[in-house]
Amino acid sequence: MDPFAHTFAGAALAASGLRRVTPLATAALLIGVNVPDVDVVMMFAGDYMDLAHRRGLTHGIPALVVLPFLVTALLLGWDRWVRRRLDPGAQAASLRGLLLVSAIAVISHPILDWLNNYGMRWLMPFDGRWSYGDALFIIDPVAWLGLGGVAFLTWSRQPAAIAAWAVFWAATSWLVLTSDLVPDTARWLWLAGLVLLLVLRFGGWRGATGASVMVRPAQLTLLVVGLYMLANVVANIPARAEVRAVLAAQGLQPVGEVMVAPVAANPFRGFVVATTPQGYVSGSWYWLGSPRFVPDERLIIPALQHPAAVVAAEAASARRFLSWARFPYAVVEPDSTGYQVRFGDARYPDRGPGAGPTVQVPGAP
């Protein structure tokens, strides 16, 4: 998920009562929910290094064991050498308490990341295989409004905090209201949810001045958002089965991996990619439609066995890209010096991370 969703999850966990476990518990939760994303530094390495290393070493199960200890050590050092020197009468942070909340926060991160179709590598560095939840779009307005709403009602007492929240809600509203990806119904629901939050905050709700007031609402919100996420995970199972059945009835079998990925702000629609012997079949999924699965007419031919593609796949950039790609394909085009091989991923055809490297292969076409 996006950094806002992770941060809001940590804030909601803090508001639900975990902030009481020990001094610095809120800091441990906010750091812990984001610390696996230290691998974001690979974005600056270039040449598809980010795709090769993202959601790998720092997201795998071994990291989930180590990172809580690192967060705890960092905060215990801050507590001893800074916080309690500035305030000698302050209560000392608890090692056990910090380790507990840090572990909860760190574990929440890969679980949320697994929910979208970008994927997770749980066993890195021992096993590089990807796993996909295909349940939520990487930016989910429900998470922003629900979990972000808890954070807003809990931490919006100071004028500076109110100003920061105003900037955030204005920016996200602009994104939701102007994006072509967001349907009109979702826009109206977003506005309704935002108005409700503003009424609660400025119409007499005292969550910003009393932490105890927000404990039950935060717990309820975490439960509702969790059930929403679980419902999307479970719904994906029959959706994939129906796609398989439709393709088998059309003679496109055996059907390999099937993805029914969520689209922005619409849990009743999905984007489909399925592996068949003829190529990748893409299409649209409509929970409320008839038929629910509408395949595209054009197949995406992988062409990875083309001799030029085989050679191009040995290039460093191509190896890194292909280690990440879920539905990889190659477009091979002859030119005056040989072949130009462009790699892609059918999850994101010709856009975003799916627009892979182009490798020049010398030789006679």
Closest CA to 301 of 279, 275, 272: 279
Tokens representing 317?
A: 């950039």
Sequence ranges of the domains in the chain? 3-230, 307-362
Are 105 and 31 contacting, i.e. CB atoms less than 8 angstroms apart? Answer: yes
Q: Looking at this protein, which amino acid is placed at residue 160?
A: A
Q: Looking at this protein, which amino acid is placed at residue 212?
A: S
> What pLDDT, on a 0 to 100 scale, did the predictor assign at position 222?
96
Per-residue pLDDT reduced to its tens digit, 64-84: 999 999 999 999 999 999 999
Q: What percent of the chain shows pLDDT beyond 70?
A: 96
Per-residue pLDDT reduced to its tens digit, 20-46: 999 999 999 999 999 999 988 887 777
> What pLDDT, on a 0 to 100 scale, did the predictor assign at position 13?
97
Cα separation of 128 and 219, whole Å? Answer: 35
Are 120 and 114 contacting, i.e. CB atoms less than 8 angstroms apart? Answer: yes
Per-residue pLDDT reduced to its tens digit, 309-341: 999 999 999 999 999 999 999 999 998 889 999
